[in-house]
Amino acid sequence: MGSGETSSFERVSWPSYLRGERSSILERLSHGDPLHLREGAARRLRELWVLLDPDRAFHRALGVCAEAAGREDPPVDLARWARGKIDLAIEQLVCRDREAERDHPERLSDEELDFPLLTECLMLEPELVRSTSVAFNALDPLPRRAFFELMIEGREVPECIESGSWDEDGLYQAIQTAMTAFGLDGQGKDADDQARRRKGRKR
């Protein structure tokens, strides 16, 4: 083997910012974000259609990565490893919120109250943030996807229909189901009347 070649069995090592004590790793990850966890967390929330504050997911991902780097072997694909840790952080937050809402619905932390998308954009009372996100994240994937594509990404209805596994009525029902998580029940007589009017317009 020539001196310029690299053995396929060469040991993979952690980059310098993922070496050392957990606290040191966490500090280095927090400054400069070398793993691009902030951007990655926001993107995975959209891809998984999970309603959590992106900053919470980012900070949880920092902790997950810092802890994992101290006890796991370094991966061959660091970007893929980081994405897996982001997914784990999101899963942990969803489970923690669900358990907290079940056991202590009246007790909310400052972190749980701070969710600008719900409090500033959707004008939801801060005290309802956790219960709303827990209810939303418990929905099936299609209603969550409909909400993200229409309400967060701002896609047009025809684009959503073309890219999704639904027709116009299916998309309408999916977004109506998603709205139940916000206390907006569109499944009654009024919704049926609206559906009939929409069908009449299509004719």
* 67 closest CA partner among 94, 42, 89: 89
Model pLDDT for residues 34-89, shown as the tens digit of each residue: 999 999 999 999 999 999 999 999 999 999 999 999 999 999 999 999 999 999 99
Per the structure, the complete domain to which residue 62 belongs is given by 14-124
Same domain, 72 and 161: no
Q: In angstroms, rounded to a whole number, what is the distance separating the alpha carbons of residues 200 and 203?
A: 5
Same domain, 29 and 119: yes
1 pLDDT more than 60? no
Same domain, 189 and 152: yes
Contact 198, 172 (CB under 8 A): yes
> Is 134 inside any structural domain?
no
- Terminal CA-CA length for the chain: 74
As to burial, measured by CB atoms within 10 angstroms (0-12 exposed, 13-18 middle, 19+ buried), residue 4 is exposed
Same domain, 160 and 93: no
> Is 2 inside any structural domain?
no
- Please count the other Cβ atoms lying within 10 Å of the Cβ belonging to residue 54: 18
Domain boundary residue, one of 124, 150, 173:
124
* Measured CA distances, 60 to 51, 78, 172, 191 (Å): 15, 18, 34, 39
Model pLDDT for residues 137-156, shown as the tens digit of each residue: 999 999 999 999 999 999 99
pLDDT of residue 189: 43
Same domain, 117 and 151: no
Domain boundary residue, one of 82, 99, 124:
124
**Domain count across the chain:** 2
* 171 closest CA partner among 201, 198, 197: 198
pLDDT tier, 191 (very low <50, low <70, confident <90, very high otherwise): very low
- Residues with Cβ within 8 Å of 195's Cβ and at least 6 positions away in sequence, in order, are 169, 172
Model pLDDT for residues 79-133, shown as the tens digit of each residue: 999 999 999 999 999 999 999 999 999 999 998 889 999 999 889 999 999 999 9
> Is 39 inside any structural domain?
yes
172 pLDDT more than 90? yes
- pTM for this entry: 0.83
Q: In angstroms, rounded to a whole number, what is the distance separating the alpha carbons of residues 145 and 143?
A: 5
Same domain, 106 and 187: no
* Measured CA distances, 53 to 12, 44, 66, 202 (Å): 34, 12, 20, 38
